[in-house]
Structure 1
């Protein structure tokens, strides 16, 4: 069994074929999927999708791109929505200094509010970070000093330094299809050094389809290709990666019910 720890099944790319997406995921051995909130405005749709199947779960959060558009979302707003049985994570949140679709100050303030929600609920914080390694680590370290909270870096594509710092803080690393890209040798070197018991796999669907589907619409079934790439990097068989990354997911996202 595999788990797609991060996808966006409420996005319009899946609106006409969600049943087909779920069927293909099952055929590929994907036994659970976490569909991710990017804004409070979109959250009802995320939750509606998660309620379509017992193997689907949701998060609640505001993507850093949307932090400027939803600056008034409070920690309490997140806590209230996190009470739903389907909501098993907080985010995605974090910092994106590559696009900077929202002011940095709004991103940082939102990031801290999400951390407070993760700390209070015990639900994992789902962190997006791009071109913001130093600020991301500084905030995670400072906030951890106020009280521990579980977290992962989703769609990891950054430096070995960021991986080491986040692992030292107790975080997990989620690997996407980027690890299969031809020019991602530096990322592969970093992931090769991350302990397997701290790795999750994801698609970030509909984005970042792995080789051999690069350029196509990504979907949860394709997480198998990412897991296969991790197996090659770790010199273990694909079943071992499937078992371990699934164990890691349900250890971290402990509110989710593991299929029997």
Structure 2
């Protein structure tokens, strides 16, 4: 028969984990010097965002700072149907307009309806080009079927596109590290997943998912990180995404 101490210990452990964010491996704070932007959420109170470092852009969605295990804090984005919930970095500027980004990410579930459901996790906008650049995003492809990562863009002369790749299927309910680079030399977008380069997830001036019009990066002044889905009537009907160790810098940041 289990001792009273063992029973109480199990009960306390269960109470501490119910309703908490998915735990990830504990690590020291990731925000050092020399970065253009960094947020590891460790110094923020739990609950709704309370900071002057970044803004919030939501519609049918919320952002919440939560505990993830015993030592880490993360940002939880929750949206309903085709809602959005973004951490927003305004007044951003990178020398020469070239910069790298990184985030740790866990998505509870990706959309499997409607057909061609399109989602974005990172979006960059700016001046000098009307393109909205989406280095981290993807789409549900009913013709395969499957959900795949793909670089995308919208709003510019190349139109609305997501260049998803069957070689880059999404992974649900697991922590992963995503990195990206925007480089005006060749208007290049590059992506790494868990430290491994994914050359198929690239875009450049003449190689992208749009039409034959050249793709041109804007001079980025705003970066949004979170979740948005663009079509209604989704399956599932709501989405939960946890993010940590978000950073932007002039050099590749690593995982």
Question: Comparing both chains, which one has the higher relative contact order based on Cα–Cα distances under 8 Å and sequence gaps of 6 or more?
Answer: 2
Counting helix residues as a fraction of each chain, which structure ranks higher?
A: 1
> Larger radius of gyration, structure 1 or 2?
2
Q: Same fold (TM over 0.5)?
A: no
Which TM-score band applies after superposition, normalised by the shorter structure? under 0.3
Normalized against structure 1, the TM-score is what? Answer: 0.27
